[in-house]
Structure 1
Amino acid sequence: MEQHPRVHVPLRRSTSRPACSTRHANRTEPVCDTDRSTSATRQWVLDRLAEPVTLEDMARHAHMSVRTFTRRFRNEVGSSPLKWLAQRRLAHARLLLESTDLTVARIATACGFGDPVVLRKHFHTYLGLSPLAYRRAHSAPQPMTAR
């Protein structure tokens, strides 16, 4: 019976190397799982901003475990998936506040916050003001009508 030389693979990986494994030393290429990006899932989420999307939904869409998806997402984007999602929803809400006269409740629903209270909380957390204060400060000035 032929013995294959075994290669020691440490349990903890350096963050500077891709996650690879080699079963035998005579293998020509390591098996790497670094070719899968989260970009398709990010686009999928952006196409569904008004819908409830969970971290599990994102990982399932990417065909990854939640842990792997979160790690790859953070490496690619620089923030957690849920923080990124909240920021994208907030950016969309800001755009709607600046360019439409929709109510805060409608904007909250259209952006996936569901409830105006949640939208207000995100505005206070990230911008330091309420949605209505943001609208007053950033909406286009109304043209003056001649009398």
Structure 2
Amino acid sequence: MKKTADVHLLLIEDDDVDAMDIQRGFRKARIANPIIRAIDGQQAKELLTTGQVPAPFLIMMDIKMPRMDGHEFLRWLRDDPTYQDSIVFVLTTSHNDRDINKCYKHNIAGYFIKSETGKGFLDVVNLLDGFWRIVQFPFPKATSDPEEVPS
């Protein structure tokens, strides 16, 4: 069983101002959970595969990023047996229906448009705070308890 404070946020955001606003929103809401930032999908993939993002974790990501964009990262994440069950929220500027549908086809938990999330992303921060207080998180398969018997 996880404690709320144990949940890490992997923030995949190439825009420094947006990343700082999200971090500031967490501080304002007095949420002390660790935030690990990647500037694109490639760096996030490297952080995950080298064990630098401890489980349990939640991913919040942008779509439009250099090197590996959000769609490519989601495709990799869902194809990797270790990380395919990860909880992902998208926070982006894109209103494009194709982007929205493509993300939901990769089983994201929610799609937020930056301009509609409240001052300093506070609405999203508050939603995440409530979310990880009540949701049970999947653990990457490599770190699952081998003693656990499926019910």
TM-score, length-normalised on structure 2? 0.24
Indicate the structure whose relative CO is greater, using CA pairs within 8 Å and at least 6 residues apart: 2
Which has a greater percent of helix? 1
TM-score, length of structure 1 as denominator length: 0.24
Larger CA Rg, structure 1 vs 2: 1
